[in-house]
Structures are given as structure tokens and as C-alpha cells.
A and B are shown apart, each in its own frame.
Chain A
Amino acid sequence: MNTKEEKIISILQDVTGLDNVGSDPDEDLFADGILDSMATVEVLVTLQDEFGIQVPVSEFDRSQWSTVNKISDRVAELE
């Protein structure tokens, strides 16, 4: 696991208040009810600040951002 993923996991843990988020990097965050709309926006805003990227809300396709691994891929693309 690289630092980017660690950073993403720590953001997810901060937002959701759950310590075990990210133990499985392929866990579906939306299907398991970990992220709702509000938490999603918070994660996106934090990602913007932390990585200095622009995440367009409507380009935000849930299926593309649904796991820790996928978020990491998207961040890498946008960086």
C-alpha cells in the first residue's frame, strides 16, 4: 500500500468516523452504506484540498469512485 492510499483511507476514516474503513481496499463504499451524499461531498472536498486536484461533481460517477483502490486511481488520473 502506498502513501496515496493511506492518505485516502485516513480521509475516509475522518469523514465517516469508522476505524475499519479501507481494511479491504476493494470494499464497495456506496453499497455498504459507508458513504452517503453528504459524506461523499466531504471526501471530494478534502481530496481537492489534500491533493490539489479538481473533482467535478457531475463527472463523479459513483461506480468509478466506489472503492479505495478506485478512488486512488481517479486521484492519480486527476493529479
Chain B
Amino acid sequence: MHNITPYSSPEYFVYLAVLLLPIMIGLWFGKRFKWYESIATLIILVITFFGDKSLQGISLIFYILFEMLIVFSYLKYRRNENNKNSFWIFTSAVILAIIPLAFVKLDPLLKNATISLFGFLGISYLTFKSVEMIMEIRDGAIKEVKVGDFLRFILFFPTISSGPIDRFPRFQKDVLKIPSREKYMEMLKSGTNKLMLGLVYKFIIGYFFGTLLLPKVSILALSYRDQAPLGISWALVAYMYVYSMYLFFDFAGYSLFAVAISNFMGVNTPMNFKRPFQSVNIKDFWNRWHITLSFWFRDFIYMRLMFFMMKKKLIKNRVTMANIGYFALFIIMGVWHGETWFYIVYGLFHATAMITNDAWLRFKKKHRKQIPSNKFTKAFAIVLTFNVVCFSFLIFSGFLNTLWFQ
């Protein structure tokens, strides 16, 4: 046996189909078999994490116990009315919750083989959920959590490896009620559509770009590396577009699976993509690309930072404040992707793009009458945004690292 990455092989879909059937029959007849869902989750976790040496699985168990300890301790602290809502206790809880992820992410920097042993597939996404819970406990949006609810939310298997990142109060609303037969019919229908679309995205289009085309353009681009400064060639341009297409179809395909399987279980997990390549500017793009992640960053980092700076009156100028926020957000996002120069540059690039975009929007507001706005300018905006985004993905791909330094 070996670990099976969710949604990566026909085997996994067969396991899913068998395990889901009782859940779906139950929901059809208006019942949620809580115990059965726990057992199904356990089986999926075993398939995903305990296939080979079980190292990932053991890490997962320790990780969950650790996060549980933090979340429930903090909850207990907040529920005691004698306690003040201390900023420092809150911050410590968040930092503690992030420590396991930080260790795993530091690995490429330290090149220490023992650290990476603690990692497991999806640790980032579980950490996002835990941190979200701590933040909402602080704000009083979450007042009560049962151990079972915590585990069900954190370990919800359709989304365990790569999101979409749900929010605890939203998730609870879905799992605590049973959809009417009519509603459930709709969910089954939309879930099936998403599943089919996901198959096309990930296993046909994604496969075509990622497995068939990408290695070819990669070899081609590398063969031209000495022909021009910085190794720039048409093949490199081709690599940029091919990689961007692969990235989208592979991840959007995966996300469609995760939402589809959630739907079959009567849960409306939020969608992750909304036609990102039709964005008219970079801000619009982040509202359409990996939506649950960018909204997580927006709500829990950007807005909080803005709130803090505004309340403390740290900076007077609104534009400066927003720009600092963008840099903070995108550098954190870059660091989260990994401690390599290209992820950090990717973050800086997007922060700069956001700031430029904001400046343009301010300029446009002031000169509304002089600047034409029609379907040609819109088409131009979409093409421009698409190319800016694809260029950022070229940075993100790490291919420039191979091209220049290896």
C-alpha cells in the first residue's frame, strides 16, 4: 500500500463512490448518519495518510491534538467573563497555531531532513482553518465548539488536502441541518456537473498542458538559454502560457472535485474559482482566483491590519496605509508558498500590481470624462490583466530559477 493523494487516481474515486453511497442514501431519506460519516472520514484518512510508513498519519494525529489544545484553551479563556480580551493571549494563540506550519515551511531554508518529517499533505489548509477559528473566537463569532464539531470541520475529507478553505460558522450551518429532498436533488445535480467538469479540467485539459506540453516547452526553452540575455526566447513565452493553463486547469479541476463531493454530503463548500481569466484588473483577479484563500488573507490579515493601523492612527494617509497592507499581505502569501526567492518575488510583484492598479483607479475616477470606456477598452483590460497574471505565474513556477541558476 502507498498513500493515495485525494482525487489523483481512479482508485481514489472508487473508494469515494463506495464510501459516499450510504451518506447519500441517508440524506436522500432526510438522515445524517453522524457515526458513519466519522468512520468514512477515518477510512479516507487512512488511505491518504497511512498508506506507507504512516509517518504522515502520525504527524497528522499529533498536529490535530496540538491545534485542539490551543483552540480549546483559547475558547476556555474567552468564555470566562472575568478575563479581558487580551491582545497578547490572542496573538500567542495564533502564533502557536502557526508554529507547526512555519517549521514545515522553513524546511527548504534549513535543509534539515528531520523537520520535513513532521509535514503532511494539507497542513497549510488545516492551519488556515484553525487560525480562522481562533480569530473568530476572539471576536465572539464562535462562542461554542464541541470536540466532535472541531474534528468534523478540520478533518472534513473532501477538502482536506488543498481546500477550498471553509469557515467554521458557515460549515456548521450546513452540517447541523439536513437539506430538503428538493434542495438535495439540486445539490446532487450541481455536484455531478462539477464532478464532470472537474474531470475534464484536471484529467484532460490539465493533463494535456501539464504532462504532455509542459516538459516539451521546458526542454525547448532550456535549449535556447544561451541565445539571448536572461535566456529569453519564444519558447520561454510559450512556457509561461502553458504553465499558466496547467496551473489553472489542474487546481480548478481539483477544487471542483472538492466542492462536488461536499455537495454530495449536503455541504455547500464555497467555490474557489470564478472565471479568473476574464478579470478586468488585478483586484478583480484576486476576487476570482483561489477565492477562499484570497478572502482568508483579505479578512484575517489585510482588513485586520488596516483596522489596527487606523484605530491606532499609526499612519495618516489612506493610500500609504493600503499600500503597506498590500505588501504585508502578499509577502506573507509569498512566504507561505515557500522560502525561495521566486515565491517572494511573486508576492512583491502582485503587491506592486495591486498598488499600480489602485493608483490607476484613482486617476480614472478623477478623469472620468477624458478616459474612454467601451468594449474595446474592456477587452484591452482583460488581455492586459491576463498577461500580467501569466507573467506572475512564470515567476511562481520557479522555471526562471532553473533557467538562470541551474
Given known A56-B139, A58-B135, A59-B139, contact A41–B306 (CB-CB < 8 A): yes
Interface residue? A23 (CB, 8 A):
no
Provide the residues of chain B in CB contact with A57, threshold 8 Å.
139, 299, 303-304, 307
Provide the residues of chain B in CB contact with A58, threshold 8 Å.
132, 135-136, 138-139, 141, 299-300
Known: A37-B303, A41-B303. 14 other contacts (CB 8 A): A36-B283, A37-B298, A37-B306, A41-B306, A41-B307, A56-B140, A57-B139, A57-B303, A57-B304, A58-B135, A58-B136, A58-B139, A58-B299, A59-B140
Interface residue? A1 (CB, 8 A):
no
Interface residue? B117 (CB, 8 A):
no
Interface residue? B311 (CB, 8 A):
yes
Q: How far is the CB of B97 from chain A (nearest CB, A)?
A: 15
Provide the residues of chain A in CB contact with B300, threshold 8 Å.
58
Interface residue? A44 (CB, 8 A):
yes
Provide the residues of chain B in CB contact with A40, threshold 8 Å.
303
Query: Quick one: which of A13-60 are within 8 Å of B by CB?
Result: 36-38, 40-42, 44-45, 48, 56-60
Query: Quick one: which of B93-112 are within 8 Å of A by CB?
Result: none
7 chain-A/chain-B pairs, Cβ below 8 angstroms = A38-B325, A41-B310, A42-B318, A57-B299, A57-B304, A58-B141, A59-B141
Q: Which residue of A lies closest to B137 (CB)?
A: A58
Interface residues on A, range: 10 to 19
Interface residue? B302 (CB, 8 A):
yes
Contact assessment for B310 and A42 in the assembled complex, using a CB-CB cutoff below 8 Å: yes
Write the residues of chain A forming the contact surface with B, with a CB cutoff of 8 angstroms.
36-38, 40-42, 44-45, 48, 56-60
Provide the residues of chain B in CB contact with A56, threshold 8 Å.
138-141
Q: How far is the CB of A36 from chain B (nearest CB, A)?
A: 8
Q: How far is the CB of A24 from chain B (nearest CB, A)?
A: 21
Contact assessment for B141 and A38 in the assembled complex, using a CB-CB cutoff below 8 Å: no
Interface residue? B322 (CB, 8 A):
yes
- The size of the chain B interface, using a CB distance under 8 A, is 22
Contact assessment for B136 and A45 in the assembled complex, using a CB-CB cutoff below 8 Å: no
Provide the residues of chain B in CB contact with A41, threshold 8 Å.
303, 306-307, 310
Most buried by B among A40, A44, A56: A56
Given known A58-B136, A59-B139, contact A45–B302 (CB-CB < 8 A): no
Write the residues of chain B forming the contact surface with A, with a CB cutoff of 8 angstroms.
132, 135-136, 138-141, 283, 298-300, 302-304, 306-307, 310-311, 318, 321-322, 325
A42→B315 CA distance, assembly (Å): 13
Q: Quick one: which of B132, B139, B141, B307 contacts A45, CB cutoff 8 A? A: B307
Q: Which residue of A lies closest to B325 (CB)?
A: A38
Given known A38-B318, A56-B140, A58-B299, contact A44–B307 (CB-CB < 8 A): yes
A58→B139 CA distance, assembly (Å): 6
Q: How far is the CB of A69 from chain B (nearest CB, A)?
A: 22
A57→B309 CA distance, assembly (Å): 13
Q: How far is the CB of A57 from chain B (nearest CB, A)?
A: 5
Provide the residues of chain B in CB contact with A60, threshold 8 Å.
299, 303
Provide the residues of chain B in CB contact with A48, threshold 8 Å.
311
Q: How far is the CB of A64 from chain B (nearest CB, A)?
A: 11
A57→B299 CA distance, assembly (Å): 8
Most buried by B among A40, A44, A45, A58: A58
A74→B321 CA distance, assembly (Å): 27
Q: Which residue of B lies closest to A36 (CB)?
A: B283
Provide the residues of chain B in CB contact with A36, threshold 8 Å.
283
Provide the residues of chain A in CB contact with B304, threshold 8 Å.
57
Contact assessment for B310 and A45 in the assembled complex, using a CB-CB cutoff below 8 Å: yes
Provide the residues of chain B in CB contact with A42, threshold 8 Å.
310, 318
Provide the residues of chain A in CB contact with B299, threshold 8 Å.
57-58, 60
Q: How far is the CB of B145 from chain A (nearest CB, A)?
A: 15
Provide the residues of chain A in CB contact with B310, threshold 8 Å.
41-42, 45
Q: How far is the CB of A61 from chain B (nearest CB, A)?
A: 8
Q: How far is the CB of A16 from chain B (nearest CB, A)?
A: 10
Contact assessment for A38 and B136 in the assembled complex, using a CB-CB cutoff below 8 Å: no
Q: Quick one: which of B132, B138, B140, B302 contacts A37, CB cutoff 8 A? A: B302
Q: Which residue of A lies closest to B170 (CB)?
A: A61
A38→B138 CA distance, assembly (Å): 22
A38→B321 CA distance, assembly (Å): 9
Task: Rank and list the top 9 A-B pairs by shortest CB-CB distance, nearest first.
Answer: A56-B139, A59-B141, A41-B306, A58-B139, A45-B310, A38-B322, A58-B136, A59-B139, A41-B307
Q: Which residue of B lies closest to A40 (CB)?
A: B303
